Structure 1
Amino acid sequence: MAAGLPFLVPYKDDHGDFKHGVNFAVAGSTTLPADILAVKNIPTMLTKSSLGVQLDWMSTHFSSMCTRERDGVEKLKNSLFMVGEIGGNDYNYALLQGKTIDKVANVVPDDVRAISNAVRRVIEYGAVRVVVPGNLPIGCLPICLTAFQTNKSTAKEKLP
């Protein structure tokens, strides 16, 4: 809002006006597909619309909006792409199911690889301006502070 830009319409809005852009994000989504997380014994709780699904929607949308390749390239090179914040739910789902920090840490390389591949895919479509904001500080979220209360002084930030 501070930049004077409108909110983006969700891709799944059948009557959406996408002239200012489109939002492919899904609340509760994960970076890794649900079947990969299931193999890691981390069932997803809210959605099966992982990063890969959202990228497939992006591909479909770009194919429909660009009747000529040159038109699409021109539109995309003047666009701003946000890839993320994504990945937090891969960790949240694991932590809230009682997985250890080591188990959660084992997911990180796969998430980083998936996000890197997503950025490459966006660039291959013609994106020039790509922002990858990273993950939220999960340990600071009230739900995590409440769920994982500890008396270890090293686990808490020292307040003045």
Structure 2
Amino acid sequence: MAMPVFSLYCFCMFVLCCDTVLNPVSALQSCDFPAIFNFGDSNSDTGGLPAAFNWTNPPYGETSFHMPAGRYSDGRLIIDFIATSLGLPFLSAYLNSLGTNFTNGANFATGASTTAPPHSVIPVGRYSPFYLDAQYWQFAQFIYRSQIIKKTGAIYKNLMPEEEYFQKALYTFDIGQNDLDHGFSSNMSMEEVNASVPEIVNRFSTNIKNIYKLGARSFWIHNTGPIGCLPYILATFPAAQIDSAGCARPYNEVAQYFNYRLKMAIVQLRKDLPLAAITYVDVYSVKYSLYTEPQKYGFEHLHVACCGYGGKYNFSSVGNCGDTVSVNGSKIFIGSCERPSARVNWDGFHYTEAANKFVFDRISPGEFSDPPIPLSMACHSKLD
């Protein structure tokens, strides 16, 4: 017998109400992020360090841009996919003075950046002079100067964000890997590197608070990835214990400890910054899954750099991706592999566009976030 119209209506309303209760995310409205301001290292640098020192060489950028585009990959980074998903253009690097447009945000990340002040900096050292404090200082200056230009800058005013964008924007962070690397490369023991983590995380929290004071409200924070799976770690520390995924276990354990302390710091930040929406994103788990289930996702040669030269991991001190080196009297250009789209690692340090796209697709729905809020709803501090 057919269900009466009134009863059918009641049943439908009951289902809708249950869906809202059981899936509170569906009750939230998508956020209207007019801009993104990004802070971090080479995992999200869209041209900062290359503009400050040496622009990336071919074959960097070959997959999507068909030329070097200031990114340490063959193509797009996670931050590029984030921008596109929100309907925004790719972020211009703050340090890149050529062809920049800051209407919808700016990128303060630079390759080789650390959270804490580095002991050695490029060009004579290993790390970026633009560590997280410096990125914060640049951002504070950017707010002030961009609004002066907005009011008095003639044609340049159209390249600056609106004043209200700073509070409405999404603030993204991906930094910490180089702090751990700094300890490893300084011959510190694992215990010593772990002992340095609380201070590193504390400096991170201080910068979040300072950026919050400047008006930021929506934060999307990545933890650090499985550093022990990277070819440069595997090649540099061949005596490390290897886990079932082929990764250097002790180095991953340090990354996991860093992530634990970072997550605890974010819990405290939520208490200290009551108006903020802070989303902690577990990129570690997503990246590690590339090494544990590669066939499922179509990847191969997991620990071998696509663009590199020498050794088991196609990574050595002979030269880096894009270099021309002399080997046994012959000049060799260090180029890319045949199928970057099937590789996880690009140059020994960084991920391929294919791997970056995989990570973005997994993290954007919110399954790996705390709270489990999708990227498009990251302006909400909780689910209800």
TM-score band w.r.t. shorter chain? 0.7 to 0.9
**1:110, 1:101 → 2: CA distance?**
16
**1:52, 1:87 → 2: CA distance?**
13
Is 1:53 aligned with 2:134? yes
**Closer, same or farther in 2 for the Cα pair 1:91/1:78, shift >3 Å?**
same
Q: For 1:70-89, what per-residue CA distance to the aligned partner results, in whole angstroms no more than 9, with x for missing partners?
A: x63x2112201012x11111
Task: Please report the TM-score for the alignment, with normalisation by the length of structure 2.
Answer: 0.36
Q: For 1:17-38, what per-residue CA distance to the aligned partner results, in whole angstroms no more than 9, with x for missing partners?
A: 100110001100111012xx57
Equivalent residue in structure 2 for 1:109, among 184, 189, 198: 198
- Name the residue aligned to 1:78: 168
Q: How many residue pairs are counted as aligned between the two chains? A: 148
How large is the RMSD of aligned CA atoms in angstroms? 2.5
**2:244, 2:227 → 1: CA distance?**
14
Q: Which runs of 5+ in 2 are unaligned?
A: 1-80, 151-161, 246-291, 294-384
**2:185, 2:145 → 1: CA distance?**
39
- Name the residue aligned to 1:41: none
**1:78, 1:95 → 2: CA distance?**
39
**1:145, 1:53 → 2: CA distance?**
31
- Ranked by relative contact order (alpha carbons within 8 Å, sequence separation 6 or more), the top structure is 1
- Name the residue aligned to 1:29: 113
**2:127, 2:144 → 1: CA distance?**
28
Q: For 1:52-77, what per-residue CA distance to the aligned partner results, in whole angstroms no more than 9, with x for missing partners?
A: 01100000001112359xx63x2112
**Closer, same or farther in 2 for the Cα pair 1:151/1:55, shift >3 Å?**
closer
User: Residue 222 of structure 2: SS of its match in structure 1?
Assistant: coil
User: Residue 116 of structure 2: SS of its match in structure 1?
Assistant: coil
- Name the residue aligned to 2:101: 17
Question: Mapping of 1:70-149 within 5 angstroms?
Answer: 72=163, 74-83=164-173, 85-149=174-238
Is 1:7 aligned with 2:90? yes
User: Residue 66 of structure 1: SS of its match in structure 2?
Assistant: helix
Q: For 1:80-132, what per-residue CA distance to the aligned partner results, in whole angstroms no more than 9, with x for missing partners?
A: 1012x111111112212322111111210011101111111111111121111
Q: Which has the larger radius of gyration?
A: 2
User: Residue 199 of structure 2: SS of its match in structure 1?
Assistant: helix
Counterpart of 1:8, as a letter, is L
**Closer, same or farther in 2 for the Cα pair 1:75/1:105, shift >3 Å?**
same
Q: For 1:4-49, what per-residue CA distance to the aligned partner results, in whole angstroms no more than 9, with x for missing partners?
A: 4321101012242100110001100111012xx57xxxxx613221
Identity %: 26
Task: Please report the TM-score for the alignment, with normalisation by the length of structure 1.
Answer: 0.80
**1:95, 1:21 → 2: CA distance?**
34
User: Residue 219 of structure 2: SS of its match in structure 1?
Assistant: strand
**Closer, same or farther in 2 for the Cα pair 1:151/1:106, shift >3 Å?**
closer
**Closer, same or farther in 2 for the Cα pair 1:134/1:151, shift >3 Å?**
closer
**1:21, 1:119 → 2: CA distance?**
17
- Name the residue aligned to 2:249: none
Counterpart of 2:213, as a letter, is E
Q: Which runs of 5+ in 1 are unaligned?
A: 39-43
**Closer, same or farther in 2 for the Cα pair 1:94/1:66, shift >3 Å?**
same
User: Residue 81 of structure 1: SS of its match in structure 2?
Assistant: strand
The Cα of 1:142 is off from its aligned counterpart by: 1.7
Runs of 4+ in 1 over 4 A off after TM superposition: none
The Cα of 1:151 is off from its aligned counterpart by: 6.9
